[in-house]
Structures are given as C-alpha cells and as structure tokens.
Chain A
Amino acid sequence: MDFNLTEEQTAIQDSLKRYLAKDYAFEQRRALTKTPLGHSAEAWATYAELGILALPFPESAGGLGGNAVDTMLIAETLGASLALEPFLSTVVLSGSLINEIGTPAQRDTLLAGITQGTLQVALAHGEPGARYATNHVAATAKKDGAGWSLSGHKVVVLGAPSADKLLVSARTSGSAFDTNGVSLFVVDAKAAGVTVRAYATQDSQRAGEVLLKDVKVGADALVGAVNQALPAIEHAIDRGIAALCAEAVGVMAALNAATLEYLKTRKQFGQPIGKFQALQHRMAEMAIATEHARSMALLAAVKVESADVAERRRNVSAAKAYIGQSARTVGQGAVQMHGGMGVTDELIVSHFFKRLTVINATFGDADHHLGKFSDSLLAA
C-alpha cells in the first residue's frame, strides 16, 4: 500500500498547473466559450507539448506509458481550471479504445494524431431511448461491398463539433439491448451522410447529436472484431468515468477554496459570514465530502484497469455514485453560501456548480450507479 506519487507524476501535474494558472484564467476561459471552436487550440497544442495527450498510451504507440492514476492527476488539474478542451473524449475515451482494439494501422495513424495534438476524436455511442444503458445500440452497420453502410442517431456526443473523426458503435447483429452484435467504426466527421448538430452544454462545453444516414465506410474502418466491440466500449466508458470522478474532485476542491475565501471576506451583521456556525458546519461538511470523494476517485483510478471486469465495474460505479452525491453537496452548498452572487454568471462559482452537475449526468448519474453497485451485492 502506497499513497505516494512518483516524481514524474508530480512534475507533469505541476507543469500543467503552471500553464493553466498563467494562460487559462477564468476570464480567458469565458472568452473561449464564446468562440466558434469553444475551446483553446493553443491550449490543446500545449497539452501535446507537455505530453498530456500521450500520457496514457504505451510507448510502442508513441505514448508515455502512463496509467489511470496519471490520468486522474491530469483530469483533476483540468477540473480545477474548468478546462474546455476535449481531453476526455479524445484521449480518455477514443484514444484508449483505439489503443485497445484498433488495428496496427489505426493505432499508427490515429494515436499518432491524438498524441501530437493534430487529431480530435469523439466517441458516438449513446442513443435515444438508451438513457444510461451502455448496451443499447440500435444504429446499424450493414455490409456494403467490401465495406459498411452506417445509419443511426447518437445523442450528446461529447466533443463532436470539433472532432475530426468519430468512433461510432453500430449493430451488426441482434437487437437493441443485446450485448453481442455491437461493432465499432471510425468515421470521418465530414463524411457524406454524417450530420453533427452541434450545441453548447450547460457547462459551456461543446457536444452534439450525430446523425448517420447511409454513411459508407471501407473495410478498414472497422475497429476491433465484428460483433464484439461492446466490452471494450464499456471499458473505455469506465475509464471516462474514472477521469470524470477525478475532474469532479478538482472542481470540488477549487469550489471549496472559493467558498472559504468568500466566507472569510464577505461581511454581514458586522462580521465575516464565516463566523456563523450554520455556515461553518456546512463548509465543514463540504470539506469532508471532498476528501472522501477524493478517496473514491483514487479507488476508481486504481481499479479501472482491473482484469476482473465485475470488480472493475463495481468499484467504478461506487465511485461515480459517491462522487455524484458529494458533488451535489458541494456544488449546491457553495452556491447557497455565496448568496445572490452564487446564482450569477459573473462568479466562477456557478460555472463550477454547472460542471459538477453535468459530470453527474454524464455516463450515469448517482442513482444509476448506486443501482449498479447495489445489484453487484446480489452476486457477492
């Protein structure tokens, strides 16, 4: 048992922190949210330079050979600055999928692009009617000569508007909720028949609906084995959840710091409002919630690469549920204690709160994962 970080881990996290502190202040971020791209191309290039985009991939694929704890540290740091870049969708979700089940050619070209910062990829998996079920795939891929023809509707695809490529899950056999029969394809975002209906998300990131109508792709677009892609997709989503948990912890810690500062400076009834016990106790509860959430994010990171799938999913669900609940405690508490200022757009507080709320609703909310974790008790 060892809670220490390696020198490399501390170093890369520190360099990212320094960059964000200098060039990614809240007002700069605000300006970015109003641009057509919605994030910073310069920041993305800097992440590539720092090695962040290559971190979780093996050295054989041009990566730095990092693990999920490395990803945790990066996600936490990005969270504290509310970074807008599609690290989650490109690196954690899509990159890990390509790395795990991609052909050598796909790994060569796509991972090279991702690690160098020249390629963004979005995972198009969720569908209308699926809610948070990961095994619901109704989009279809039909044999079309040597290649495939894809049709379907993918919902709230994170990072889709800026993505160069989409990883699209589609059914090659069976029906909507079957775990077998799901295949994965890499599709050019500009391909004929692909429509990305882009929108901003509640927390000022970008996502979109992806509509596919008879999209023709070649045989080399297939990622992984036919009909067998679902386990890898679910693993990628679990990696995404672990990263989201860490990001939430970064947001919560930053939000607590902002709230604490406010409690010490805002005066009412002739004294700092932090002198009032009702607020002190609420702040103490937020600090406790954040410390315990941090422990659960760590648990998710160390278990997400577990070879035992049931063990992996059980721990990831426990972490996501716990962090969903803690994020609600911290987010709502911070807004409440900021009073009227907490519900304005002006302070970063409401932006932290919105990010936490969106994180909870992404890849299964607290109730969904509590249910998953709860059901795992039947097997135990």
Chain B
Amino acid sequence: MNLDYSPEEQEFRDEVRSFIQANLPADIRDRAKTGGRGGKDDIVRWQKILYEKGWGASSWPEQYGGPGWNAVQRHIFEDECAEAGTPMQLPFGLKMVAPVIMRFGNEAQKSYFLPRIISAEDWWCQGYSEPGAGSDLASLKTRAVRGTDAEGEHYIVNGQKTWNTLGQYADWIFCLVRTSTEGRQQEGISFLLIDMKTPGITVKPIIMLDGEHEVNEVWFDNVRVPVENRVGDENKGWTYAKFLLGHERTGIAGVGRSKAALRRLKSLARRQAGDNGKPLIEDQRFRDRIAQVEMELMALEITNLKLISEEGKAHAPGPEASMLKIKGSEIQQTLTELCMQALGPYSVPWLHDGQDLAGSSQPLAESFTVRDAGTSGAYFNTRKTTIYGGSSEIQKNIISQMILGL
C-alpha cells in the first residue's frame, strides 16, 4: 500500500510535463492563462499534436493507436494536462463512441472511424437526449424506419435530439434512435452513426444561462442513413448506450481539472482583499470553505485512484463510477461557487468575452483581471455538472440498484 508515485511513475510524469511544456503552442497557453476561449481550433490543434506523439487517446488499446498506458499513467497524464491548462480532448469521439465502436462495431467501422477520431479529422457530438427523454432516456422517440432504395438499405430518421455539446462543429453524431415500438422501450433502440452533412439535418443553438453557445438542438427531417452505419444489432442499442454511459462517467470525476481550479481559488483568495483589507484567505470563515472542498477533493482523488487501479483488473467501469460522478460534479460546482464568492462585488459584472458594453477589455480594476471576468460565468455554467451524464439523482438510483441491491 503506497500512495506515492514510484520512481518509474515520477519519471513518466516528468516526461509528460516536459512534452507539454515544449509542445503546447504559446497562443493556446496564453489563452488558457487569461481564461480565453479557443474554441474548436485550439482543441483540434492540441489533439493533432498529441496524436503525432502517439498520445492521442490515452485510454485506447495499443492496437487502435493507444499508448498502452496503465491506469496510473493515464491519471498522471490527465493531471498534467489539467495542471498545464491544455485544451480539453473532445470526449464524444475519444471516450464515448470509440469504445462502443471497438467493442460492438464491425471491422469496416473500426478501420474507418477510429483513425479519424484519434487524429481529430472528425469532430463528434452526442445524440442521446431528446426534449421528452432526459433522465428517462429509454423513452426516446427519434424514429428510424428501415427501407431500401437504388443505393441500398438505409434508415430514414425523423425526430429531434437536444443538449448536443459543441454539435455546431460536428462532422458526425452518434444517435440512439427508435427502430421498434414493440415490447419494452429499451428493446427497440438502435445505435446509428450519422454524417452531419446529410441533407435534412438542422443544428439550432441553445444559449445557456452564462450567455454561451455550448449546446444545440439537432433536428432530423427525413435523414437517410445507410444501414452499414448502424453499430451492432438492430434493437440492441440500449446495451451499447449503457456501456457508453459507464465510460462517460469515469472521466467525469474531473480530479485533475478540480485540482487546478482549487489552486486558482487559493490564488484568488490571496489576491482579493477581505473586508478588513487583509487578503481574503485570512478570513477564517472563507478559508474554512476552501479547506472543506479541498478535503472533499483529497478523498475523491484517492477514491478515484483506488477505483482506476481496480479497473485495470476488471476492465469495464462499474456502477462505482456513479460515486465519483456525484462527488466530482459537486466539487466542481463548489469550486466555481467559491471563486465567484471570492470576487465579492466583482462577481456581478457580466463581461461577455471579457468586454464591457462599449467593447473595451481594459481591466475594471487591478484586482479584477480579464481572466476573473469569466469566474461568475463558470459558476453558472457548472450547474450542468450534476445534471449531465445522468443527474446526481439518477446516479443514486444506479448505486441503490446496482451496488446496494435495493
């Protein structure tokens, strides 16, 4: 039993750290420091850099281009990326649809899609939720009807998906669609891969409470999808969907990003003045709140490490990931809430992209930098974390049923 990194693990960490140091483009690094948004371009550029290095998909098996890391190495890599403030690696392709294709897809799907995902050639988005199917995902209604025309067998898809994160950039969408209304609702679902350029697809932005365009609605109006774009068997999509959700939840603990956010919170509390003119961190009431969330994060990190080290033994992430999702998302929310609170009156201004109404991005005060301008928005934005990927309440249902047997 040892929580410290072994000499080999430390060496690996140093290797990752120096690679990021040397290869994260300066403009991306600066944007990360100032809290700016790089959008699609930064994400794609960084993914291509990692891909060139052979680190494009830390969790993939070597046969598909993964680096062959163990769970601890993957953890170190994610930690270092978070610490350095690298752009995120888009999870929809790498961590969601790719494991499904690897496990349930055919050879043609594997050889076409996987290389394009890891090299950032294709941008993927998720087509799970619908306006009437949120927590009760299996009640989804987007219809796919099988048919044949001159070009072969296909499905005609009609319906609407929602909460498609960064779907405005997507080349492909993976969709759960209803192919049967017979029997239990879980038994009539299929898993389709749909080219976003197909005629009949409309993407409409949803503006979120922080004023940002991060998610979308995707409408399907008689969209023709070749039958070879179905993963696995018809009407067995629910099994694949659940497999995917298990994968989604493991990364969702977000330990590395939260550690970086905690450091930022502490730095903010040292820079901001408290009511008596001394640094806010000397205010015991506020400091205790930081201490509380730091303790929670310490417990989460060790629990996460324990679970991923067991994951190496039995591969598929189990319902235990629900525990990490609940705690991890609450911690993310608490951290953004405390950052906002640390700003006091300066939590109030809404400076879209760091600009006032006249378009000036001059700092409002020395104690309120351009980066701080995004802080309150982050608080509003992270309310989503206990909702997406299965709300906290759904996770508790999963724990009750799958772990506790209630």
Q: Which residues does A use to contact B, with CB under 8 Å?
A: 1-5, 9, 69, 260, 263-264, 274-275, 277, 280-281, 283-285, 287-288, 291-296, 298-299, 301-302, 318, 321-322, 370-371, 373-375, 377-378, 380
A284-B400, A322-B295 known; A291+B303 contact, CB < 8 A: yes
Q: Does B170 contact A (CB under 8 A)?
A: no
- Chain A residues with Cβ under 8 A from B6's Cβ? 1-2
Contact status B406-A283, CB under 8 Å? yes
Question: Do residues A295 and B396 form an inter-chain contact, with CB atoms below 8 A?
Answer: no
Distance between Cα atoms of A315 and B395 in the complex (Å):
29
Sampled A-B contacts (11; CB under 8 Å): A1-B4, A3-B306, A263-B406, A287-B323, A293-B299, A295-B299, A295-B303, A299-B3, A299-B298, A373-B295, A374-B284
Is B302 located at the chain interface by the 8 A CB criterion? yes
Q: Which residue of B lies closest to A259 (CB)?
A: B404
Is there an interface contact between B327 and A288, defined as CB atoms closer than 8 Å? yes
Question: Which residues of B, 290-331, contact A by the 8 Å Cβ criterion?
Answer: 290-292, 294-296, 298-300, 302-303, 305-306, 309-310, 323, 326-327
**Chain B interface, >50% SS class:** helix
Question: Which of B4, B287, B300 has the most chain A CB atoms closer than 10 A to its own CB?
Answer: B287
**How near does chain B come to A250, taking the closest CB pair, in angstroms?**
16
A373 to B295, CA, bound (A): 9
Cβ A1 vs Cβ B287 within 8 A: no
B303 lies within 8 A of A377 (CB)? no
- Chain A residue nearest to B288 in the complex (CB): A374
Q: Evaluate contact between A288 and B295: CB separation under 8 angstroms.
A: no
Whether B14 is near chain A, meaning CB under 8 Å from some CB there, is no
Inter-chain contact A3/B305, CB cutoff 8 Å: yes
Q: How far is the CB of B201 from chain A (nearest CB, A)?
A: 38
User: What chain B residues lie within 8 Å of A295 (beta carbons)?
Assistant: 298-300, 302-303, 306
Distance in angstroms from A245 CB to nearest chain B CB is 12
User: Which residues of the partner chain A approach B4 to less than 8 Å between Cβ atoms?
Assistant: 1, 302
Bound CA–CA A225/B376 (angstroms): 56
**Residue B72 is within 8 A (CB to CB) of chain A in the complex:** yes
- A69→B296 CA distance, assembly (Å): 22
CB within 8 A of B1: which of A275, A285, A302? Answer: A302
Question: Once the chains are docked, how many angstroms separate the CA of A291 from the CA of B116?
Answer: 39
Query: Is B266 in the interface zone, CB < 8 Å from A?
Result: yes
8 Å CB contact of A287 from B294, B305, B399: B399
Report the 6 A-B pairs with minimum CB-CB distance, sorted nearest first: A374-B291, A295-B302, A280-B400, A292-B299, A284-B399, A274-B406
Partner of A1, one of B3, B303, B326: B3
Does B397 count as interface, using CB distance less than 8 angstroms?
Answer: yes
Tell me if B396 and A370 are in contact (CB < 8 A).
Answer: no
What chain A residues lie within 8 Å of B266 (beta carbons)?
A: 377, 380
For B403, what are the chain A residues with a Cβ–Cβ distance below 8 Å? 284, 287
B397 and A277 contacting across the interface, CB-CB below 8 Å: yes
Question: What residue in chain A is nearest B298 (Cβ atoms)?
Answer: A318
Q: Are A284 and B298 in contact, CB atoms less than 8 angstroms apart? A: no
Closest CB in chain A relative to B258 CB, distance in Å? 14
B9 in the interface (beta carbon within 8 A): yes
Instruction: List the A residue with the shortest CB-CB distance to B400.
Output: A280
Asked if A370 and B404 sit within 8 Å, CB to CB, the answer is: no
Looking across the interface, which residue of chain B has its beta carbon closest to that of A256?
B404
The residue of chain B having its C-beta at the shortest distance from the C-beta of A321 within the complex is B295
In the complex, the answer to whether A280 meets B397 with C-beta atoms within 8 Å is yes
Within 8 Å CB of B373, what residues of A? Answer: none
Nearest residue in A to B279 (C-beta to C-beta)? A378
Give the CA-CA distance A296 to B284 in the complex, in Å.
23
B282 contacts A by Cβ under 8 Å: yes
Q: Tell me, in angstroms, the Cα distance from A318 to B395 when the chains sit together.
A: 27
